[in-house]
């Protein structure tokens, strides 16, 4: 099988590059408990992740819930997570080595996440200090959340990479749909937070079980 020539790889963050579920769940539950709402086990929080912090909290709260309460909870979690995200957030095995190898081969690496942009920047600065990401786009005003492809297409355009030579690697169906919406090569990461059967149902171009498999799935530029 002829492997695609890829000049840029766009990565999701949570569940793809970093195992952040413990930190997210702990922060969410602290805020829920402080506001007298029921808390959730990590196994449940795992299913809340993928559509940004606001949707995470909305899924965790009992319904119906007012928009004012939701706004207050989002602010509270942002404040808590700012102070605590380092507790329970680590790179997956092989991530640093794989990113380093791609960079050495001349492949641009970028991040497109539904996590608030400020946290994407903090996490990459702290956990990947020796990795140069060509572009990082997290959830922020002016760029719609995935699966809208605007963020991914913006990254490819700014890096002067045709979408056909751009791969999008993520652990969620949202990421795979984003890749397809953008006309990019879709690669499912099966080690993350979404169930492999759901990923397979989206018919990704490729599916890998370890991030190092990426190096034999694409043909990087040299």
Partnered with residue 169 across adjacent β-strands are 11, 187
CATH at residue 204: 3.40.50.1000
Q: Which residue numbers are catalytic?
A: 12
**pTM attached to this predicted model:** 0.94
Domain boundary among 60, 84, 108: 84
Q: Are residues 11 and 32 in the same domain?
A: no
Give the number of domains in the chain.
2
Burial of 22 from C-beta contacts in 10 A (0-12 / 13-18 / 19+): middle
pLDDT of residue 4: 80
CB of 113 closer than 8 Å to CB of 120: yes
Q: What are phi and psi of 216, to 5 degrees?
A: -110, 5
Q: Are residues 152 and 187 in the same domain?
A: yes
Q: Are residues 175 and 68 in the same domain?
A: no
Residue-level pLDDT, tens digit, the chain, 222 residues: 567 889 999 999 999 999 999 999 999 999 999 999 999 999 999 999 999 999 999 999 999 999 999 999 999 999 999 999 999 999 999 999 999 999 999 999 999 999 999 999 999 999 999 999 999 999 999 999 999 999 999 999 999 999 999 999 999 999 999 999 999 999 999 999 999 999 999 999 999 999 999 999 987 655
Q: Are residues 78 and 96 in the same domain?
A: no
Q: Which range marks the domain in which residue 67 is found?
A: 21-84
CA 58 to CA 53: how far, in whole Å? 9
């Amino acid at each position: 099988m002829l492997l695609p020539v890829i000049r840029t790889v766009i990565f999701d963050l949570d569940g793809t590059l970093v195992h952040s579920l413990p930190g997210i769940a702990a922060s969410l539950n602290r805020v829920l408990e402080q506001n007298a709402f029921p808390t959730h086990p990590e196994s449940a929080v795992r299913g809340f992740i993928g559509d940004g912090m606001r949707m995470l909290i909305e899924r965790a709260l009992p319904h119906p819930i007012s928009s004012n309460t939701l706004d207050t909870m989002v602010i509270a979690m942002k404040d808590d997570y700012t102070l605590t995200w380092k507790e329970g957030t680590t790179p997956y095995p092989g991530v640093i080595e794989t990113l380093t190898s791609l960079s050495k081969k001349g492949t641009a690496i970028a991040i497109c996440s539904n996590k608030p942009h400020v946290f994407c920047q903090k996490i990459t600065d702290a956990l990947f200090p020796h990795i140069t990401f060509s572009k990082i786009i997290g959830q922020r005003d002016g760029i719609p959340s995935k699966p809208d492809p605007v963020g991914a297409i913006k990254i490819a355009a700014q890096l002067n990479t045709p979408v056909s030579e751009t791969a999008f690697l993520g652990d969620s169906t949202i990421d795979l749909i984003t890749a397809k919406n953008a006309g990019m090569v879709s690669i499912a990461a099966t080690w993350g937070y979404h169930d492999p059967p759901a990923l397979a149902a989206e018919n990704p171009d490729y599916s890998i079980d370890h991030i190092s498999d990426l190096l034999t799935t694409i043909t990087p530029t040299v």
